[in-house]
Structure 1
Amino acid sequence: MKQTILSFIDKHQLIKNGSTVLVGASGGADSMALLHFLYRNQMKWNIHIIAVSVDHQLRGEASREDIVYVDTVCKEWGIPFVWERVNVIKYQKEKGISTELAARELRYQYFEKVMKEYHADYLALGHHGDDQVETMLMSLTRSASTTAFSGIPVRRKFSNGYIIRPLLCVTKAEIHTYCRENEISPRIDETNFDTLYTRNFFRKHVVPLIKQKNSNIHTTIQHLSETRNEDEYFLQEKAKEMVEEVVKFDDKWNSAILEVDAFKKRAHALQRRALHLILNYLYKELPKDLSYVHEEQFLSLLDSKEGNRQLYFPSQLKVERAYEEITFRFYDSGEDTSYHFPLEVPGEVLFPDGSKVLAQFSDVRYNQDTISYGFYENQVSFPLHIRTRKSGDRMSWYGLNGSKKLKDIFIDEKIPLDKRNSWPILVDNNGEIIWLIGLKKGKLKDSQDKGRWIQLNYVQATSRRI
């Protein structure tokens, strides 16, 4: 293990001679093995080591005992030790984020503070090869973007120095063996065995199965992560050049404009990354409901034959094509977000939020629910249309005497004001409302079960991030 780590450090040039290295030491096997390894080899690089830890106060007395343990070991090895206690629960409530994210933010805030205080060159963390496998697999199940499929970086810029991870080349089993051979008795965090946490589920149930086929999977994944990062870095640099050449930003109005032809001449791989760069520039913080569907919509907008067309991205970002130019700008909530699309059968209509309606002829009469609707073609007047509401819109349905205003239906159904103006409505060619999608199904013409059966299905937008 020693030679594997030394070769890994040398390959990636992780430590320079005479540097100050902070070591994140939680008391667990990974961090204590790393601390011991650097302690034993500090003369090789003539480095100054400082152990650093954070008490998250999430496990009561056990958390406090972790700090005591690290302090005791550091005194035995002659290593300076600094630590801080943080209130994760209070911070989590203030920020409205998960406990895990709150703990991470507070931990790295303290790490940054200590980095600056000691003018440290590196913060060494104990992530190992199995962590890398878990991270890559979780990325694969959560994201539809290659940019998110990046793994844990071996080295990255942080504060006034770098975060380095020298143990990514070894497994958890090798680390435990190292601890036994060097008489290190690490602390055990019982929450690491709770499979309600996604990472723990992968650790216990998924990774062991993969290791049955490839016991060296951590090396394979690490190589994949490194080569993918190299490729991504190259593509990102090219995308930045592309954005500088074909996109104009207006800082005053926080908007961007591009020429369609110039944008389309670039490779699709650069188009996607350029879009992400534009969004990262315009949004102060990327919305959680921004998904790869919006990326697909934008690429479709580029290829559209329509002279004028609009898309509505989360947090009131409007993407508007006017002939050969596309403009990104934020709009007021009172701005017109109406639309009107013809619905062909078979065919589909894609809505600004990424959802869509699919229409097809069918020989089977399916069971219907709130997001599907079926009827015979002689019950409606063609062609069909999907639009947003108009002043005076009313509809009738079976069991209702007369008709009712759409405004009142929205109120009854507790639909938020900001969603009503963009709510999809299916109408026939006479303007009769057939379906207030997801809410009410209109009264149709009487039928003798003649003609073809038309099946409509509403498909909600996915929540996967781009």
Structure 2
Amino acid sequence: MKDILNKIHSYIEEHQLFSDGDKVIAAISGGPDSMALLHYLLHHAKKRLNIEVAHVDHMLRGEESKKDADFVEAYCEQQGIPCHRASLDVKKKMEMEGTGLQEAARAVRYDYLKEVMTEIRASKLVLGHHGDDQAETVLFRLVRGSTMKGRAGIAAKRNFAGGVLVRPLLALTKAEIEQYCEHYRIEYRIDPSNAKDSYTRNRIRHHIIPLLKEENPSLNEQIKRYTEEVKEDEDWLLQQAEDRLQKRIIEQQVQFMKIERKNWCKEAPPLQRRMIHLILNYLYAKVPTSLSSAHTASVRKLMEQKHPSGELHLPKGLLVQRSYSTVTFHFVPSAQALPYCYRLDQNEAIVLPGGGKVIAKEGLVEDLDETADFCWLNPSEVEWPLTVRTKKDGDRIHLKGMNGSKKIKKIFIDEKIPLDLRGQWPIVTDACGRVLWIPGLRTAQGVEKPSNGNRACTLIHYKDLLGGHSSC
């Protein structure tokens, strides 16, 4: 056990995660990782820490998740430390925003942790991620095509809510955490959803990582070294890219940037990629989760092509236009785009003009990433084929728990959807013209998940495809 404690001590010291007198919030789920974390902070931390706990019940497992919250609260009472707990309706957030389960759960959890941290003026938020989580995250992001910064994995620390989020257990394996719990006889709760293979992360955790550890038992150490080296390289390259980009900007305004192309193309490809990332981070108020290395490659191709003019449509209405010696990045009002109307039948897919895709899949599809909005319906209760179109004057939708209907225009206003996005927002109707779904916003009354998954149909809206389209 001394070796495990020394690993944690060394990692904390190496990354300077704590200072004497820090007021910390420990995010505790009740599982082995977080309970080992809390035990360490209470009994073995070498710095004097003022510790409080936060627990989120995602309301996904009924009485079992409530018991998790009660367990954490009882432990905190026993240890004499404050416990902040909240029950947050993840399913409601999924329905309102059209996001996937894991994305919605993460969003509500971090929003609450931010509130608690701000309320008690904590300087640190402490999470229990370990080395196996790091390996899983690196593989997951490599599969998804993340940028180099994303491939660096989980950071030991990062800024959060006016303080710092820290992860002191990244140096440990899952097996070492279990050994720690066994040695100190730490009780914990088990979330059965972690054993399911319905999520990509779980499949990586259960099948791929064990195989890799058979090839190299020191996998976690290799991943740790890889992520640290990638971060060091990325920090240096990003600073170089920032310096070079300033020399290539001809004009810069809010949501607008014009670049000089000739000397840009003389820069090394690693710097070009990061310069593009910097431009996108500047222009987007919130960078779309679907932006990937493929988008960066498309911008570089437009910069370097022999044809002197061309354009590329990126997510959320960002237009990249090349004209001879300059390349301009700016947003265009999509409301000025032409309306569209497409027929959609079961097991068909359509690509939308401004970037995006709508699919109707037979069955209950649940393992969707965060770039997807979705809803389930009983195909026998709607008139096929469906229609995916832009809004029309007077469009209305019948909502759950509401007498009568509501104008879609009013929904756009209530949800603060920018004017330049409303004109191209997809509306899904059945063959009778009844509005069934406004992806990411609202689902009509009667459109619900069938109790028998074999009789279900899943409508999926991928918000952003690579570029939507490009032309020269």
Question: Common fold, TM-score beyond 0.5?
Answer: yes
Inter-partner Cα distance in structure 2 for 1:119 and 1:223: 34
Q: Answer whether contact 2:7 2:171 (CA < 8 A) is retained.
A: yes
Other-structure match for 2:297? 296
Other-structure match for 1:190? 192
Cα gap change, 1:274 to 1:62, in 2 (>3 Å): same
User: Structure 2 regions of 5+ residues with no counterpart?
Assistant: 339-352, 356-384, 392-463, 468-472
Q: Answer whether contact 1:144 1:464 (CA < 8 A) is retained.
A: no
Q: Say which of 3, 6, 27 aligns to 2:6.
A: 3
Q: Secondary structure at the match of 1:151?
A: coil
Q: Say which of 3, 18, 26 aligns to 2:21.
A: 18
What's the offset of the Cα at 1:353? 8.9
Other-structure match for 1:99? 101
- Greater shift after overlay, 210-219 or 280-289? 280-289
After superposition, where does 1:130-169 map in structure 2 within 5 Å? 130-143=132-145, 145-169=147-171
What's the offset of the Cα at 1:36? 0.2
Other-structure match for 1:117? 119
What's the offset of the Cα at 1:306? 2.7
Q: Say which of 198, 201, 222 aligns to 2:224.
A: 222
Inter-partner Cα distance in structure 1 for 2:214 and 2:466: 30
Q: Secondary structure at the match of 2:149?
A: coil
Inter-partner Cα distance in structure 2 for 1:415 and 1:36: 54
Other-structure match for 1:279? 280
Cα gap change, 1:169 to 1:280, in 2 (>3 Å): same
Q: Answer whether contact 2:27 2:34 (CA < 8 A) is retained.
A: yes
- Greater shift after overlay, 274-283 or 303-312? 303-312
Quote the RMSD (CA, aligned, Å).
2.7
Q: Answer whether contact 1:260 1:326 (CA < 8 A) is retained.
A: yes
The amino acid of 2:307's aligned partner reads E
Other-structure match for 2:326? 325
Q: Answer whether contact 1:23 1:51 (CA < 8 A) is retained.
A: yes
Cα gap change, 1:82 to 1:287, in 2 (>3 Å): closer
Other-structure match for 1:450? none
Aligned-pair identity in percent equals 38
Q: Secondary structure at the match of 1:147?
A: helix
Other-structure match for 1:306? 307
Q: Secondary structure at the match of 2:24?
A: strand
The amino acid of 1:134's aligned partner reads E
Deviations 1:134-179 (A, max 9, x none): 1111111111532321211111111121111111101111111111
After superposition, where does 1:316-465 map in structure 2 within 5 Å? 316-333=317-334
Inter-partner Cα distance in structure 2 for 1:208 and 1:271: 37
Other-structure match for 1:263? 264
Deviations 1:299-340 (A, max 9, x none): 222223333333333333332222211112233448799xxx
Tell me whether 1:29 sits opposite 2:47 in the alignment: no
Q: Answer whether contact 1:142 1:464 (CA < 8 A) is retained.
A: no
Q: Answer whether contact 1:264 1:302 (CA < 8 A) is retained.
A: yes
- Greater shift after overlay, 240-249 or 152-161? 240-249
Q: Secondary structure at the match of 1:320?
A: strand
Other-structure match for 1:232? 234
Q: Say which of 129, 144, 149 aligns to 1:127.
A: 129
Inter-partner Cα distance in structure 2 for 1:312 and 1:84: 42
Other-structure match for 1:204? 206
- What's the TM-score, normalizing by structure 1? 0.70
The amino acid of 2:261's aligned partner reads V
Cα gap change, 1:281 to 1:216, in 2 (>3 Å): same
- Greater shift after overlay, 92-101 or 168-177? 92-101
The amino acid of 2:180's aligned partner reads Y
Tell me whether 1:80 sits opposite 2:69 in the alignment: no
What's the offset of the Cα at 1:416? 6.0
Cα gap change, 1:89 to 1:353, in 2 (>3 Å): closer
After superposition, where does 1:39-50 map in structure 2 within 5 Å? 39-42=42-45, 44-50=46-52
Inter-partner Cα distance in structure 1 for 2:324 and 2:18: 54
Q: Secondary structure at the match of 1:26?
A: coil
Inter-partner Cα distance in structure 1 for 2:387 and 2:219: 51
Q: Answer whether contact 2:251 2:259 (CA < 8 A) is retained.
A: no
Q: Answer whether contact 1:24 1:125 (CA < 8 A) is retained.
A: yes
Cα gap change, 1:286 to 1:185, in 2 (>3 Å): same
Q: Answer whether contact 1:9 1:166 (CA < 8 A) is retained.
A: yes
Inter-partner Cα distance in structure 2 for 1:212 and 1:31: 27
Larger relative contact order (CA 8 Å, sep ≥ 6): 2
Q: Secondary structure at the match of 1:167?
A: coil
Cα gap change, 1:189 to 1:259, in 2 (>3 Å): same
Other-structure match for 1:456? none
The amino acid of 2:311's aligned partner reads Q
Cα gap change, 1:220 to 1:293, in 2 (>3 Å): closer
Other-structure match for 1:392? none
Tell me whether 1:55 sits opposite 2:87 in the alignment: no
Q: Answer whether contact 1:122 1:163 (CA < 8 A) is retained.
A: yes
- Greater shift after overlay, 69-78 or 140-149? 140-149
Q: Secondary structure at the match of 1:169?
A: coil
Q: Answer whether contact 2:25 2:53 (CA < 8 A) is retained.
A: yes
What's the offset of the Cα at 1:75? 1.8
Q: Which runs of 4+ in 1 moved over 4 A?
A: 287-291, 332-337, 412-418, 462-465
Inter-partner Cα distance in structure 1 for 2:466 and 2:72: 40
Q: Answer whether contact 1:143 1:464 (CA < 8 A) is retained.
A: no
Inter-partner Cα distance in structure 2 for 1:331 and 1:49: 49
Q: Answer whether contact 1:292 1:464 (CA < 8 A) is retained.
A: no
Inter-partner Cα distance in structure 1 for 2:146 and 2:112: 33
Other-structure match for 2:382? none
What's the offset of the Cα at 1:286? 3.5
The amino acid of 1:24's aligned partner reads A
Cα gap change, 1:236 to 1:66, in 2 (>3 Å): same
Q: Number of residue pairs matched?
A: 350
Other-structure match for 2:441? none
